[in-house]
Structure 1
Amino acid sequence: MFKYAAKTMVLVSLTTLLIVTGCSKETSSSDSSIGKQVNHEIIGIDPGAGLMKQTAQVLKDYDLKDWKLIEGSSAAMAAALDKAYKDKKPIIVTGWTPHWMFAKYELKYLNDPKGVFGKDEQIHTIVRNGFKKDALSAYTMLDRFEWKAEEMAVVMSDIVEGKKPEEAAAEWVKKNGTKVDNWVKDLTKEKGKKLKLAYVAWDSEIASTNVVKIVLEEKLGYKVEMLQVEAGPMWAGISDGSADAMVAAWLPTTHKDYFDKYAGKFEDLGANLNGTKLGLVVPKYMNVDSIEDLKTK
């Protein structure tokens, strides 16, 4: 009887030890720094984007010496986020609004108490000098072009779900006849006249540029060519006249360097969308709320 009781006590002790050890390991794992959880990596987009420059500045201003900003593309960033989110794994990405990912996933921006990412931005329409004289109807339509983030999100979401960009844009134009009619009201058709629209391969700009293309072609008779380039060549193209217009200028922060560099070589028609935001984005299931929390303690 004593031997049995002794054996039972030993087994209970060992079991308790294993449970405690297991809990300790789990607690240790959950208490590990955010940096260790994500290998001190922030998943970025294309290296020419202003968002990448601002994020690099964030690493300096917040003294995140152990961190690395990974260059890639908006598509690669979205794919990495999708994979991590499905597996409920931690990840930090460079993000912006409007973007379809905020409709698909539960995400949050990390607080930026130093204000490195700046205030909310606008997306502006920029045209080459002399464009008004050469294509008055297109110029006027682009000057009138303005929509809301939630309207852009409809087109972006349709594209993500598998529709071709031109198809998603055409459907949006068809369903929003009143708004579109106001953009082209009393304008003369210029059938067959060629135009070139430059844009960067961000989901937001793919959506907006395709919508503008559909309106210019279907409502005003233009033949529009879309030029997909990076941010630098996009601004250079407008400035040297090799492109006519873009609806993809993020101001006053993201594209500030290009705006200043080519000042006087383009015309700014003002905002076509208000209320954009830039920053570091994480899934809501992550226990981190501020960029300051990323610093190794």
Structure 2
Amino acid sequence: MKKITSIISLFFISLLLVSCSSKMPKYDAKKSVGEQINYTITGIDAGAGIMSSTQKAIDKYDLQKENWQLQTSSTAAMTSTLQKALKDRRPIVITGWQPHWMFTKYPIKFLKDPKHVYGKEESIHTIARVGLKKDEPSAYEVLDRFHWTKEQMSDVMLKVNEGQDPKQAAKSWIKKNKKQVNSWTKDVKKVKDHKLKLTYVAWDSEIASTNVVAETLRSVGYDVTIQAMEIQPMWSSIATNAADAQVCAWLPNTSGVFYKDFKGKFVDLGVNLKGAKVGLAVPKYMKNINSINDLKEH
């Protein structure tokens, strides 16, 4: 009987804890934002460039004095946590980048970065292995011509986020943007069953761009394989000729260290997207938090 009573007591205690955790308080502009979120910035994968930049930001803005910390997770976990916080109007600080569907779907804003830790603006470059131009001139030409806008990338990302298969989302976008895609493939000599490998980081933005490029290359006859990797192995795959190309090089900051480390072992085909941005972001209802400086106690 005592055992049954203990089990029932534990059950009700568990229910009480769940109930309490699900009723976290809304954002209070009169209170310290750090105290409300346990001085935690919600991040993504440990190897991502934005994570190392955020560690620098914590130092540069003296946030370490108040024990601010960067929580490692994943893109999916970060966006899920963001969604839950927005639903309850709770405070949250995340590592953010644009283009990304969350800036289209959710009311969030970048924090100003007066010390320029994250840089003013980034561009995404296409990187190919040494010798690709000679070995596969048709693929090289398509990759060299590939370019699009933040809005176009966001269109594909949003479809994928809503549950569409990335390959199908890419095909749908290509179908709606034939004129632009034709400019990438015009007068390119078609091949038959030539194998090609693209590597990418499994961020929503890179899933979108890599699938669009892969489908375009397939349209001129290539047998394309795409493989997701962490950022350092992705760069290494190009440098060692284990893969042919990637369209995911955020420069000069996010991928800057890898660009420097592998310099001379790849070919930079230039910018495929302009106006990319990285930094810290918060919900727009946190109206008094507009700069990284605002995270500090006053």
Q: TM-score, normalised by structure 1?
A: 0.89
Note if 1:244 corresponds to 2:230: no
1 CA distance for matches of 2:108 and 2:182? 36
Which position in structure 1 is the counterpart of 2:273? 273
8 Å CA contact 1:54, 1:117 repeated in 2? yes
Larger radius of gyration: 1
Secondary structure at the residue paired with 1:55?
Answer: helix
> Letter of the aligned partner of 2:63 in structure 1?
L
2 CA distance for matches of 1:191 and 1:39? 57
2 CA distance for matches of 1:203 and 1:106? 18
Residues 58-99 of structure 1: per-residue CA shift (max 9 Å, x gap) = 000011111010011111111111111111111000000100
Which position in structure 2 is the counterpart of 1:175? 176
2 CA distance for matches of 1:30 and 1:94? 21
1 CA distance for matches of 2:202 and 2:267? 22
Which position in structure 2 is the counterpart of 1:88? 89
8 Å CA contact 1:64, 1:296 repeated in 2? no
2 CA distance for matches of 1:177 and 1:88? 41
Which position in structure 2 is the counterpart of 1:57? 56
**Unaligned ranges ≥5, structure 2:** 1-24
Which position in structure 2 is the counterpart of 1:33? 32
Deviation at 1:255, TM superposition (A): 0.6
1 CA distance for matches of 2:250 and 2:53? 13
2 CA distance for matches of 1:140 and 1:48? 31
| Count of residues in Structure 1 that have an aligned counterpart in Structure 2 | 270
Which position in structure 2 is the counterpart of 1:189? 190
Which position in structure 1 is the counterpart of 2:46? 47
8 Å CA contact 1:45, 1:74 repeated in 2? yes
Which position in structure 2 is the counterpart of 1:254? 254
**Unaligned ranges ≥5, structure 1:** 1-25
1 CA distance for matches of 2:121 and 2:199? 23
8 Å CA contact 1:98, 1:204 repeated in 2? yes
Deviation at 1:161, TM superposition (A): 0.8
Secondary structure at the residue paired with 2:128?
Answer: strand
Q: TM-score, normalised by structure 2?
A: 0.89
> Letter of the aligned partner of 2:181 in structure 1?
V
2 CA distance for matches of 1:136 and 1:273? 22
> Letter of the aligned partner of 1:279 in structure 2?
G
Which position in structure 2 is the counterpart of 1:8? none
> Letter of the aligned partner of 1:148 in structure 2?
T
Structure 1 stretches of at least 4 aligned residues deviating more than 6 Å after TM superposition: none
8 Å CA contact 1:107, 1:281 repeated in 2? yes
2 CA distance for matches of 1:63 and 1:123? 30
8 Å CA contact 1:35, 1:67 repeated in 2? yes
Deviation at 1:30, TM superposition (A): 4.5
